[in-house]
Chains A and B, each alone.
Chain A
Amino acid sequence: MIGPVVQLVSIVKRFESAVAVDRVSVDIQPGEFFSLLGPSGCGKTTTLRLIAGFEVADAGDILISGDRVNDRRPYERGVGMVFQSYALFPHLSVARNVAFGLEQRKVPKADIPGRVNRALELVRLDPATYGSRMPAQLSGGQRQRVALARALVLEPRILLLDEPLGALDLKLRKEMQLELKALNRSLGITFIYVTHDQEEALTMSDRIAVMDNGRIAQLGTPADVYENPRTAFVASFIGGSNFLSGIAESLGDRRWRLVGRHGTFVVRAEPGVMVEAGREVRIAIRPEWMDLFPPDRIPPGENAVPGTVQEVIYLGETIHVLVALDPGEVVTVALRNEGQLIKPVPWTRGSRVAVAWLPEDCQVLEPDA
């Protein structure tokens, strides 16, 4: 078995007094599509720049293929980088931009045009058409492709991408997401991808590190972080969540009864989630895992809270029903749209309903770090 291609061992980075990266440790596997996801200022870009070598860690080790690289210059680390602003050299043509790294690394002159053309073809830009153009003559999407080709032409082991799709419109962004994923698979290069867009991270990643305040709040597959968020931060940053709380009473086998102002629920904690009897516990429930029933017809075994429908929002794929629970608080319940013209949702503003969910469909949260 081959070891991790990138290892961060408890790295710390401070800027003046603020801690940008706080004891982050992670192993990234060869060929993996790994995303650093979080809001601005969470430390994701700084973490990427530490791996690239543009920043020096104040503490901790950065290992690439098992070698400690803390003191190596960026070009000695075998990494390629795609910048948020693309950072194409505006005075050089597309072909010269892509050739730049090859020239700097003293690749034989005769080999350069062939490699440049192959790199451009890889990102689906026709070398004959685009090779001689200047960056200013390209669209945002084309510039992005050139930036990608410029990094890939050096055949790095690791490609670092800093919000590369941020400036593109939605349709193009979706296309590029799939293309990046396909490139990651076909080239076998490890991609480390920084984004604040949760959907983007879910779409492409093998694993996601959700970052908050310089720390990794949760690390896991897209399904892990979406379906088993550990903290309220993760639950609300990735997808929408409804939050409820109550005082815990143990039922044994990781099952707990929560007694709070919304009533009594039964919940199941994931392995490893610490719950203390007698303490207040928060839970998160995804809108699509809740359902609505008439108040007198709650299915047995489900948790339920009564309320009044406040708004019904038509979103196409789903229908969002906002329900004001009796004790206060508004929750969102997402119902599948089965065709409003054929089989409309039976609820309207003012309907009395019960919001219900299964004990295993809610997440017991740890307190935020």
Chain B
Amino acid sequence: MSLRRRVLGWSAARPTRSGYALLAPGMIWLLLFFLAPIGLMLVYSVMKRGLYGGVEPGITLEHYRRFFDPLYLDILLRTILWSFVCTVLCLVIGYPVAYVVARAGRWRQWLLFLVVLPFWTSFLVRMFAMIFLLRDSGFINSVLLRAGLVHEPVALLYTPFAVMLGLVYGFLPLMILPIYASLEKLDVALLEAAEVLGATPRARFTRVIFPLSLPGVVAGSLLTFIPALGSFVTADLLGGAKQVMIGNLIQNQFTVARNWPFGSAAAFVLMGVVLVAVVGYLRRRDARELVG
């Protein structure tokens, strides 16, 4: 058999039984550590609460009912709103960055390196670093005070502003990278074609560049919005007790409040929100693509 035939045979062949066996480790992993715990949580969310954590026998929808108390609904709505604003801010800030990096020629590798640099430290450390920036005796306030712009420290930490800053800072690379990937693939000849056909720089962006980068925008938005919905470290460290997001609520139920069923129910409500939001978003996009 010629080398060419063998090479072709390799890629053209459908996975054999042993090929499918390669799926096994991943499948088993997901089954054990993803599906099983989620199934368990679903069961917990409809059981009675144990006094010292855990659950007691008996089925009830009380925890879901309880979630629709205005107190918790407020937290949910705030979480959705903040995640949405965070996504929009990341898009507005991240798109131009991705665009510049994609067009940066020989500097591209370095700029890309800078974009991913924050990933080299843990999310937690980065959020702590923000505290040093924002607290009353932190960097920003010191500069403001020394410059004489303010006479007493501005309250930055433990405000919605601080939480939003932390969220945007934390998730920005996740917006930049997929947009960069889609812009980087864009054929320069398309822009030249648009130019010679009479498109202004603005029209080239709105009619060619942006529509073709939409897959990146969608991926980046999902990668930002979904983790933002579930985030709790940021709100915990930078928002203090007042700026609670649903992630904090869930975490609290499992730890301090020892109300596992309610925590599970809240987690499932959040999952439902994510599912509805994502499916709704993707379907709208599909519809737009069909029209466009």
Contact = CB atoms under 8 A, between A and B. Distances in A.
B203 interface: yes
A73 B192 CA distance: 11
Interface residues of B, number: 19
A230 to B, nearest CB: 34
Given A85-B189, A91-B212, A154 B195 contact: no
Which of A79, A84, A100 has the most CB atoms of chain B within a 10 A radius of its CB? A100
A266 to B, nearest CB: 53
B196 A52 contact: yes
B195 A85 contact: no
Interface in A25-77: 52-54, 73-75
Nearest to A79: B196
A238 to B, nearest CB: 28
Given A89-B208, A91-B211, A91-B212, A104 B198 contact: yes
Contacts of A101: 197-198
Interface string A94-124: 0000001100110000000000000000000
A346 interface: no
A172 interface: no
B292 interface: yes
B189 A104 contact: no
Interface in A136-151: 150
Contact of B212 (A81, A90, A100): A90
B190 A154 contact: no
Contacts of B208: 89
Interface of A (DSSP majority class): loop
Contacts of B194: 89, 100, 104
A87 B197 CA distance: 12
A236 B212 CA distance: 45
Contact of A83 (B193, B211, B212): B193
A104 B197 contact: yes
A53 B196 CA distance: 9
- A-side interface size class: 20 to 34
Contact of A91 (B187, B192, B199, B292): B292
A177 B207 CA distance: 32
Contacts of B198: 75, 101, 104-105, 154
Contacts of B289: 91
A89 B190 contact: yes
A87 B196 CA distance: 12
Contact of A87 (B190, B207, B211): B190
B286 to A, nearest CB: 13
A80 interface: yes
A150 B194 CA distance: 11
A74 B190 contact: no
A54 B211 contact: no
Given A87-B187, A89-B190, A90-B212, A100 B195 contact: no
B292 A74 contact: no
A146 B218 CA distance: 30
A74 B192 CA distance: 9
B269 to A, nearest CB: 37
A242 B195 CA distance: 46
Interface in B142-159: none
A74 B196 CA distance: 5
A87 B193 CA distance: 7
Contacts of B192: 52, 54, 74, 81, 83, 87
A80 B195 CA distance: 10
A296 B196 CA distance: 65
A75 B196 contact: yes
Nearest to B188: A87
Which of B189, B196, B199 has the most CB atoms of chain A within a 10 A radius of its CB? B196
B197 to A, nearest CB: 4
Nearest to B208: A89
A79 B196 CA distance: 7
Nearest to A52: B196
Given A74-B196, A104-B203, 6 more contacts: A54-B195, A74-B195, A84-B189, A87-B190, A89-B193, A105-B198
21 contacts: A52-B196, A53-B196, A54-B195, A73-B195, A75-B196, A75-B197, A80-B196, A84-B189, A85-B189, A87-B187, A87-B190, A87-B192, A87-B193, A89-B190, A89-B194, A101-B198, A104-B194, A104-B200, A104-B203, A150-B193, A154-B197
